[in-house]
Structure 1
Amino acid sequence: MASSFAVGNAFRNQVTELLENTDSSLTRELKEELEQLLEKQDIILSFSTARKLKTCLQDKGHPFYLHELLEDGSLHLPEVVKPPRNPQLVARLEKIKAKLANEEYDRITRNVNTQEINRGGTLADFGREVRSVKAVVVTVFNFLVTIVTAFACSYMGSQYLFTETTARVISAVIAASVVGLAELYVLVRTMEGELGEP
């Protein structure tokens, strides 16, 4: 936090003129402070000295004001000195960082299965895949047998209704299509149930 001004030549010139003036009626303490400031190369004017100077200039009716003295100056911000870090604290922070990094790594790799990374796979994976393929083959075979048997039954049963072969074939195709659509509907509903959908 700023507690002083860094002032330039305007301050130096006017304060020198003020000190040389014998009837300036500055207090002895203020004169000594100002003389010490003028001896330095870089003038750093504290706020308390600036207040004393302002009060003196106001009370005595001098022809210049404090803002004129500080015209080419700026706030002096002291350099912040960081205290050295406690080595025990640094070591503890490093341990906490390492622990958090390990927890993050464990969270990221929580669902990684090392057996799936293995290129050959395991026998359990192979068995699961064979069962899956077997279920699909059985389902397709069942679907085809159902349609073929529906066609055959309709064709054979329609001989009592129709005498022409074309009419028997058309009725058998229609019956097989209806049975096939019904089978597809049941198959889709079953697969939805296996996937957990309503």
Structure 2
Amino acid sequence: MASSFIVGDKFRKRVTGLLEKRDSSFPQGLREELESVVGQREAAAVSFGTIRKLKKYLHDHGHPLYLHEVLEDSSLHLPEAVKPPRNPELVARLEKIKAKLANEEYNRITRNVNTQEINRNGTLADFGREVRSAKATVVTVLNFLVTVAATFACSYIGSQYLFKETSARVISAVISASVVGLAELYVLVRTMEGELGEP
């Protein structure tokens, strides 16, 4: 936080002119502080307290010189922030937490990597999984074929009460088998989408 000004040439000239007047009402402590600041050749800093005293003096004695004119080319002195030393226990805890988080991230990334899958021959579990998948596919296809065939047979036999000609019976059986086959395909596709996680 700023607590002083770095004074410029205008400050030096105006304060030097003020000090040369040898006014008896000029406070001695303020005179010494200002002379020490003006006497320095390099960039000098003057504290806010000294500036407040100077402002009070100028205001009390009705001096035509205003404070903003005195500080026109001065700048705030902002000291560098001093960082406190880090607590070694805290640093050690932070390192442990970072290592733990990095390990968890690594485990999350590699959780679906199976070193047994790298083996070209595969494992018995992989073989079992493939057999189950093939079995489910075969059962689904057989179910579809049996359903369509049974629908055709039922429609063909049941249509003998409606139609006398064989061609009409075959056409009605094909139409009903097609409708049931399409419905079965729709259900099959929706089931496969559900297994794949799609809406």
TM-score, normalised via structure 2 length: 0.76
Please state whether the residue corresponding to 1:58 is helix, strand or coil. helix
RMSD over aligned Cα atoms? 3.5
1: distance between equivalents of 2:85 and 2:140? 75
Where does residue 127 of structure 2 map in the other structure?
126
Where does residue 5 of structure 1 map in the other structure?
5
Unpaired runs of 5+ in structure 1? none
| Residue identity in the other structure for 2:45 | I
Distance verdict in 2 for CA 1:149–1:19, change over 3 Å: closer
Distance verdict in 2 for CA 1:45–1:192, change over 3 Å: same
Q: CA deviation at 1:28?
A: 1.0
Where does residue 25 of structure 1 map in the other structure?
25
Distance verdict in 2 for CA 1:131–1:54, change over 3 Å: closer
Where does residue 66 of structure 2 map in the other structure?
65
Question: Number of aligned pairs?
Answer: 192
Q: Is the 8 A contact 1:6 1:76 kept in 2?
A: yes
Where does residue 176 of structure 2 map in the other structure?
178
Where does residue 78 of structure 2 map in the other structure?
77
Q: Is the 8 A contact 2:149 2:177 kept in 1?
A: no
Where does residue 87 of structure 1 map in the other structure?
88
Matches within 5 A, 1:31-180: 31-40=31-40, 41-110=42-111, 112-114=112-114, 117-118=117-118, 120=120, 121-144=122-145, 147-148=148-149, 154=156, 158=160, 162=164, 167-180=165-178
Please state whether the residue corresponding to 2:179 is helix, strand or coil. helix
Please state whether the residue corresponding to 1:5 is helix, strand or coil. strand
Q: CA deviation at 1:149?
A: 6.2
Unpaired runs of 5+ in structure 2? none
1:143-176 C-alpha deviation (Å, 9 max, x unpaired): 4455456656737x85xx63xxxx3133123224
Please state whether the residue corresponding to 2:46 is helix, strand or coil. strand
Please state whether the residue corresponding to 2:2 is helix, strand or coil. coil
Point out the more displaced range, 50-59 or 96-105. 96-105
Distance verdict in 2 for CA 1:45–1:94, change over 3 Å: same
Q: Is the 8 A contact 1:152 1:172 kept in 2?
A: no
1:35-89 C-alpha deviation (Å, 9 max, x unpaired): 1111222121111000111111112222211111001112111111222223333
Q: Is the 8 A contact 2:6 2:76 kept in 1?
A: yes
